[in-house]
Amino acid sequence: MQRTRTKLTTLALVALVALASVAGAAVATAEEAPATRGTAGDTGQTEPQRGECERPPGHRFPFIRFHMNVAADAIGITVVELARSLADGMTIAEVAEANGVAVADVIAALSAPLHRKIDALVEKGCIDAETAAELKAGVTARFTEFVNNGPPDRECRPEGGLGQPIRTLFSSAADAIGIETMELVRLLADGESISSVAEANGVDVADVIAAMVAPAHTLIDRLVAEGCIDADAGERMKAKITERITELVEKTDLGQGRPRFRRR
């Protein structure tokens, strides 16, 4: 009995790890979104209080375990049965179909908790309705992909994501401007922006932005070439990264602490 219980626990852990790629990415999509705030004039809501829109601490393992339970409940089987099937190489869609359950119902059940979280952000005025719709679509798309096809190849999940540490961005900017990184940091601490430093040194701000986004764009090109994402998705990702870096170079408070990107 003890050996059987240990084996089933192992199967469950295998399935939890398999779900990590999609569930972790989906919760990140919803949790990292807050920052586009409405005003009383255009939403009928008051400005959210400090902290209400901040990303909550991540607890990935409980989150994944929760969604294992949601999927199993939607299919009408136990978590251990679902774990065993996933460990045997089945997809969640195949498990659902084998049990006479519509795949769309399982996807809806998995997406629902995050959709509710996104709705709550709208109610608090953290994001607008258009942003919420985009986030919901992204969450549903991620779960749809995973339920039907399983987790993506590890090669399609770049370590550390597409973003760069702020110190790396500063170094790229300083190199493009032609000054030392610490000199740029000193000027930013004095209230300058990256764009104003570039202009003072006779460097086109567009060239600085290009240097800062280049590593992420190169990685996106690799993901497209390897079939991890399609060309249209790659272009959208490049545009978003360029937009955020363009906002960053105009900020005059970069020397006052860690800058935060606005999520749209």
Q: Please write the tens of the pLDDT for every residue from 185-197.
A: 999 999 999 999 9
Q: Which DSSP category does 55 fall into?
A: P
User: Residues near 136 by Cβ (< 8 Å), separated by ≥ 6?
Assistant: 111, 114, 115, 118
Residue type, 264: R
Residue type, 96: A
- Give me the pLDDT at residue 32, please: 46
Q: What percent of the chain has pLDDT above 70?
A: 66
**Of the listed ranges 16-20, 124-128, 226-230, the one predicted with least confidence:** 16-20
- Give me the pLDDT at residue 90, please: 87
Spatial contact of 81 and 72, defined as CB atoms under 8 Å apart: yes
Q: Which of the pair, 190 or 10, is modelled with greater confidence?
A: 190
- Give me the pLDDT at residue 150, please: 72
Q: How confident is the model at residue 141 (pLDDT cuts 50, 70, 90)?
A: confident
pLDDT tens sequence across 252-262: 887 665 444 44
Spatial contact of 99 and 76, defined as CB atoms under 8 Å apart: yes
- Give me the pLDDT at residue 153, please: 57
Q: Is the pLDDT of residue 8 over 90?
A: no
